[in-house]
Structure 1
Amino acid sequence: MGEGAKWVAGRWVGWAETKSLGPGEAGPNVCAYNGIYCAPRPSDGALAVAGIDLNHADIAGHIPADLPLGVPDLTLLHLNSNRFCGVLPDTLLHLRLLHELDLSNNRFVGAFPAVVLALPSLRYLDLRFNDFEGPIPPPLFDRPLNAILLNSNRIRGPIPANLGNSPASVLVLAHNRLGGCIPPSVGRMAATLNEIVLIDDDLTGCVPPQVGLLRKVTVFDVSGNHL
């Protein structure tokens, strides 16, 4: 794996020394480390790091800005339930193959991370239980995301009117301070939407009649609002 292996090994050793996460006996075989998943690269068959899953590892610190340089073939990045903090580095946009991003239950801050909107392969986005703030950018609902999980942040401002452009099957925006109404465009999500959870979002007005078009929805929860 060349330089990619060296990068992962270096980062892993740093985390392991702090929280005893990795098996020291793995040595230079990065693919043998807990939480590192490798697969043949489609272009040349060489073994590459395809996934990093460090959930519940009690890691503290920032996501390194050089992350994409070491793992350009990464398709899965799960770092939930740690103590990562700060803002997401813009260099994440170079992870062109990233399919799943789970950064939930950490201490990330700042505006909604626009960098995730530039990930062409992203289909699953989980940013729950952080301290992101400000409005939801409308382009989020133009992305081909199957799941959007943003609950329990500090997000404010109305739900963008283009909500209905989203092909998501699961949409969870609960426990924010969104205000305003549920956009009528939600009816355009009928073909894909299975779950929508908007609990305790300071929503006002009425539930739009277009909700009746959501024939596949099994969970529709707007409790704790002013509807």
Structure 2
Amino acid sequence: MAHHCYDIAEFLLLTFTILLSNSVKITSREALEIGNRVDRSWTPHNTPPNCSTPTPPPPPPPPKCSTPSPPPPPPKCSTPSPPPPPPPPKCSTPSPPPPPPKCSTPPPPPPTCPKPSPLSLDLDPCLFVDIRIYRAYKVIQQFKVNITSDEQNITNSWVGADVCGNYTGFYCDNPPDNKSAIALAAIDFNGFKLGAASVSEFISQLKDLAFFHANSNNFGGTITADVAKLPYLYELDLSNNKLTGSFPLDILNVVNLTFLDIRFNSFVGSVPFDLFNLQKLPKLEVLFLNNNNFSLQIPDSIGQTSVKYLTLANNQLTGGIPRSIGNLSNTLVEVLLLNNQLSGCLPYEIGLLERATVFDVGNNWLTGPLPCSLGCLKSVEQLNFAGNYLYGHIPEVVCQLGNLLNLSLSDNYFTWVGPACEELIWKGVLDARKNCIPGRPLQRSPEECFHFFSKPLQCHHWPWYDYIPCNDDWASAPSNGPSPASNGPSPASNGNGPSPASNGPSPAYSPLFKQRS
């Protein structure tokens, strides 16, 4: 067995050698013969021969090749499940960003403003001399848009930033709350004939306004409550416009008001009681309400006002002249009550108005005699009682007033004039036409006079009509008619002098009384 293994090994070694040397080519037949020779020398019953040639050591047995273990089977593939989402972050209120660092470097100066364009309507505030002027500019531009008529092209100048210098009708000054500032202080639109549906909203937005005059324009609407919020407003003139409604009561809250002119409009209703309340309007000096449609009576509070110039003319006021008017003896300068429907007798308290220069109650329904107290009007220049139902004699003390320039008594029923009054007629100072004065030209007819005196004529407080309070005396002129009614107070009751003599009718009355009898 060992010999057989050796031969096989020898054969394999020889074959490997031949193949390597490439010197002998062995056919398949030769290889077979060699193999047969080798096989015939080995029998299983023979012992190995005693070989003289040393047997080479057997080649090392081939290594036991273990079959490599197959690779592990690939894992069974399945659709991997998605990883679980990360847990949401814990929400907390973010801390506010840190404040910006304080800059130590001062801010740069404002840029130089460019020259304003005259056509620009939205200008930079730095173009104006004061921020107050810039605010007024915006109000003016809005009002300009609302102007409906401008016959004189006034608004053409309302362009650019120079409100104080170039805008027609606008005036600037230092406001009371800041003497270093510049503000729009006054507006004068008198005679501009501007038209707008309303002007009150425009006025109320100009917070520094102290003076607004807009006589003879075409502004409508009324005066609203916002006007009363202007702290510096003291003059308001909206005369000769198209304002309507009742008296604007909100004006009574303009505490600094000294001048109010709303004449020549279409206001209606009564004149409010508080208009003459000194506590409401303590500084009011000028009050012009004429040429409206005010009605009802003049309030008795007229004696509480500080007004110097009072005009209620050309309305539809009724009733008498309040006796409290005498309380204005130290203030009232001009009183115009003409062209109303005032009635009753003239109160003798009119004669207490020692500072009055003008007193006009022409064209009303007043009656009775002229009170001799009018002789105390030392400053009066104009007296108008024309167009009423006054009668009796014309007091000489009135015709002797030193400053009198015009005394109009026409269209009444006076019956007598003295020498001083005759002189004024001759000078053209006294107009006594269309009365019942015998011997004077241009008088009423006797029939007209008779018809008037055929009616009862009586005034309250008759004794006072001959009393001259500035002299504490009684007039020596003839009495004004029959004995007074007993319901009037006697002068002695107030310590003003003795009771007047109970004189008979004036001689001028004699022919008339004969006709009446």
Q: TM-score, normalised by structure 2?
A: 0.42
Tell me the CA shift for residue 118 of structure 1.
0.8
Aligned to 2:192: 57
Aligned to 2:163: 30
- C-alpha contact 2:150 2:193 (8 A) present in aligned 1: no
Find the aligned partners of 2:356 and 2:305 in 1 and give their Cα distance: 14
Tell me the CA shift for residue 102 of structure 1.
0.4
- C-alpha contact 2:295 2:315 (8 A) present in aligned 1: yes
Deviation track 1:25-61 (CA, whole Å, cap 9, x = no partner) reads: 8512111211001001232221100001111111112
Q: After superposition, where does 1:117-196 map in structure 2 within 5 Å?
A: 117-142=252-277, 143=281, 144-196=283-335
- C-alpha contact 1:13 1:22 (8 A) present in aligned 2: no
Aligned to 2:251: 116
Aligned to 2:137: 5
Aligned to 1:41: 175
Find the aligned partners of 2:141 and 2:177 in 1 and give their Cα distance: 23
SS at match of 1:92: helix
Q: 1:209 to 1:129 in 2, by over 3 A?
A: same
Deviation track 1:58-92 (CA, whole Å, cap 9, x = no partner) reads: 111211525323x1111101111001112222211
Find the aligned partners of 1:80 and 1:17 in 2 and give their Cα distance: 15
Q: 1:6 to 1:191 in 2, by over 3 A?
A: same
Q: 1:25 to 1:18 in 2, by over 3 A?
A: closer
Tell me the CA shift for residue 140 of structure 1.
0.5
Q: Which amino acid aligns with 1:171?
A: L
SS at match of 1:57: coil
Q: Which amino acid aligns with 1:57?
A: F
Find the aligned partners of 1:138 and 1:193 in 2 and give their Cα distance: 18
Q: Pick 1 or 2: higher relative contact order, CA cutoff 8 A, min separation 6.
A: 1
Aligned to 1:87: 222
Deviation track 1:7-40 (CA, whole Å, cap 9, x = no partner) reads: 2244246549854213448512111211001001
Q: 1:110 to 1:189 in 2, by over 3 A?
A: same
Tell me the CA shift for residue 122 of structure 1.
0.6
Tell me the CA shift for residue 129 of structure 1.
0.4
**Stretch of structure 1 that moved more, 5-14 or 56-65:** 5-14
Tell me the CA shift for residue 218 of structure 1.
1.0
- C-alpha contact 2:187 2:211 (8 A) present in aligned 1: yes
Percent identity reads 37
Deviation track 1:71-123 (CA, whole Å, cap 9, x = no partner) reads: 11111011110011122222111112111100000110000011111101110
- C-alpha contact 1:156 1:177 (8 A) present in aligned 2: yes
Deviation track 1:162-216 (CA, whole Å, cap 9, x = no partner) reads: 1011111110100111100000000000111111010011000011111111111
- C-alpha contact 2:149 2:194 (8 A) present in aligned 1: no
Q: Which amino acid aligns with 1:212?
A: G
Aligned to 2:346: 207
Tell me the CA shift for residue 6 of structure 1.
2.1
Q: After superposition, where does 1:211-226 map in structure 2 within 5 Å?
A: 211-226=350-365
Find the aligned partners of 1:191 and 1:130 in 2 and give their Cα distance: 31
Find the aligned partners of 2:221 and 2:158 in 1 and give their Cα distance: 32
Larger radius of gyration: 2
Q: Which amino acid aligns with 1:176?
A: N
Q: Which has the higher strand share?
A: 1
Q: TM-score, normalised by structure 1?
A: 0.93
- C-alpha contact 1:9 1:30 (8 A) present in aligned 2: no
- C-alpha contact 1:9 1:28 (8 A) present in aligned 2: no
Q: 1:34 to 1:25 in 2, by over 3 A?
A: closer
Gapped regions of structure 2 (runs ≥ 5): 1-132, 367-517
Q: Which amino acid aligns with 1:166?
A: T
Pairs aligned (count)? 226
Q: 1:183 to 1:42 in 2, by over 3 A?
A: same
Find the aligned partners of 2:364 and 2:294 in 1 and give their Cα distance: 15
Tell me the CA shift for residue 4 of structure 1.
2.6
Find the aligned partners of 2:226 and 2:187 in 1 and give their Cα distance: 17
Find the aligned partners of 2:159 and 2:219 in 1 and give their Cα distance: 25
Q: Which amino acid aligns with 2:266?
A: D
Aligned to 1:197: 336
- C-alpha contact 1:156 1:178 (8 A) present in aligned 2: yes
Find the aligned partners of 1:56 and 1:153 in 2 and give their Cα distance: 19
Q: Which amino acid aligns with 1:21?
A: I
- C-alpha contact 1:107 1:131 (8 A) present in aligned 2: yes
SS at match of 1:116: helix
Question: Cα RMSD between the aligned structures?
Answer: 1.8
Aligned to 1:67: 203
